[in-house]
Structure formats: structure tokens, C-alpha cells
A = this chain, B = another copy of it.
Amino acid sequence: MSLLVTGSIAIDTVETPSGKRADVIGGSAVYFAYAASFFAPVRLVGVVGDDCPQALLNVFDGRCVDTSGLEIRKGSKTFRWHGSYVKDLNDAETVAVNLNVLAERSPKIPEKFLDSQYVFLANTHPVLQQQTLATLASPKLVVADTMNLWIQTQREELLKLLGKIDGLVLNDGEIRLLTEKTNLIAAARDVLKMGPKFVVIKKGEHGSLLVSDRDTFVLPGFPAQQVVDPTGAGDSFAGGMMGYLATQMSLSPATIKRAMAFGTVVASFTISDFSLAGLAAVTREQIDDRWQEFKAAMSF
């Protein structure tokens, strides 16, 4: 089924204990789309400036990603992020950030994308997320991400968004900020009262947690032997999860659990190299093999 993602497209500079990469492709929508495309065709909506080298956008060549929703805006500059994981692989330190084109109007969604059934609203201003959602005809599953900045400065708009989506994906720090609760299960129950039918909490190397009215599902992180660059892990997780869901007829708890395990596995490839190199080197078959390995590593 059709899967739409809107979110950021970035030129990243990243420093980790394994080295430094300058001016590589990144952004939430990019990681999401690449990860999801192992499972289902993806419709990408995003905007870059005319400074963005075409070579960077060529990452989607040969993949099932429809980039007709990708706007290259003249006179604007691409979103740039410079982060460092040198001190802590679990916590990015932002060295510099330039919103650039992300601070302007949002990109237009092509008419042929308006019938999208599965929708991921990657992290951006909650007003833009609501605008995107309002233009879509009748999506079957809408999942959104958010971040500290919007929780702190756009709480009212974020709460409006939460009333309109099926699932919220966010990390442990973010949900604690949103609910002012330390215990993650208690925090998730608060979020369910705000609207979403389920909440997925990403805990980095410590795995993830799904909470719905009926279910609590806990998943450890994939036991990775080496982490080269954690950038994009959370978006890859969401991409793997939503990509798998888009191929399933069901949204049963069991299906969502399997989807989260696929998300975990895809993210484990992302962090094995810089930028998209880890994902680019992998096949769907290798993802399936690691999924089985992961399942075995936690079953008893």
C-alpha cells in the first residue's frame, strides 16, 4: 500500500569516535524513505535549496522511492546540521544547525500522492504536520514524530496534532518532557489520553517500547558490536516499521510488534556506517536474516 513521508532533507556534517564526514546526505525523511523502501514503495515529500548537489539526491536512484514530491527551491538553501557523538554515542551534541529552507513554507504534496494510505509525518513544526494531514484524502494509518523544540514552544499545536493521528513515535527524553512523568509506561498512558491509539518510545541502544490501550510490548536494542554513526537510527527505525506495516493487511498488535522488530534491525544497519552507507550496503535478504537472528536472540 502507498506510504507517504514528509520531513527534513539535510546536508549533514557528523563527528563520531570513528571519524568525521562533512556534507553528506541526511534528514529525517531521507533516512525514513531509504529504510522503508526495503519493504514498500515510498512517496517522498520534502524541500531542498538550489545549493544541494544533485549527487546527494541521487541516493534514491534505483530504489523504490518516488521523488516527485521533492522540491528544489531556487534561491533557498538546504537545511544543514552539524552534530557530534564524540563524547557520547547515545546523545548527539549539535555543533551547528541552519534551518534555511525548513524555516520557509512547506513543500507542496503532489496530487497523485493525496490518496496515500500510510503516512509518516517526520519531525517538523506541528502546524505543518497538521497542514499536510489535512490535504490527504483518507489515510488508513497516520504516525508522527516530534522533538523537544515543539514540545516546549508549540505545545498547543502539538496537542491538536495528537488528537488527529493514530500513532506517535518519540524518544524517552521527549516523552518525559511532554508528560512530565519519569516512568515511561505512565508517560505513555498519558499520551494515549491525548489522542493516539499507540505510542512507540525509542530508547536508542536500549530498544523500544510500544504502549496501546490493550498492549505493552518491549523490545531490546539489536546487540550491535560496533556503532559507527548513530545519525538517522530513529528515523530508520520508523521507516522499517512503517515500510513493513504498509505491506500488511492487518494492524494487529502482533503485526505492529513484527514491524518494530524490522525497524530495529534496519536501524542496526544504519548505525554500522556513516550517513546512508550502512543501508546502501545491505539487501532485503540480509535484513530478513538479521530479523530472524534478532528474534532468536530474544526468544525463550
Q: Which of B226, B260, B298 contacts A218 (CB 8 A)?
A: B298
Task: Tell me which residues across on chain B come within 8 A of A257, comparing CB atoms.
Answer: 299-300
What are the residues of chain B within 8 A of A254 when measuring CB–CB? 300
A221 within 8 Å of B by Cβ?
Answer: yes
Docked complex Cα distance between A186 and B89 (Å) = 15
The residue in A182, A222, A227, A258 that gathers the most chain B C-beta atoms within 10 A of its C-beta is A182
A203-B206, A206-B206, A207-B220 are contacts. A226–B300 as well, Cβ < 8 Å?
no
Closest 9 CB pairs between A and B?
A: A257-B300, A218-B220, A206-B206, A220-B220, A185-B225, A216-B223, A258-B300, A185-B223, A218-B298
Q: How far is A258 from B221 in the complex, measured between Cα atoms in Å?
A: 19
Report the separation of the CA atoms of residues A300 and B259 in the bound assembly, to the nearest whole angstrom: 9
CA distance A221 to B299 in the complex (A): 14
For A184, the closest partner residue in chain B by CB is: B223
Encoded as 1 (CB less than 8 Å from any B CB) or 0, chain A from 252 to 272 comes to 001001101100000000000
Task: Report the bound CA distance from A93 to B185 in whole Å.
Answer: 25
- In the assembled complex, the Cα of A295 lies from the Cα of B300 at a distance in Å of 8
Report the Cα distance A216→B296, complex, angstroms.
9
**18 residue pairs from A and B, CB less than 8 Å apart:** A89-B182, A183-B226, A183-B227, A184-B223, A185-B223, A186-B226, A207-B207, A215-B297, A217-B297, A218-B223, A219-B220, A219-B298, A220-B220, A254-B300, A257-B300, A258-B300, A261-B300, A295-B300
Interface residues of A in 178-220 (CB under 8 A from B): 182-186, 203, 206-207, 209, 215-220
- Within the complex, what minimum Cβ distance (angstroms) separates A19 from chain B? 16
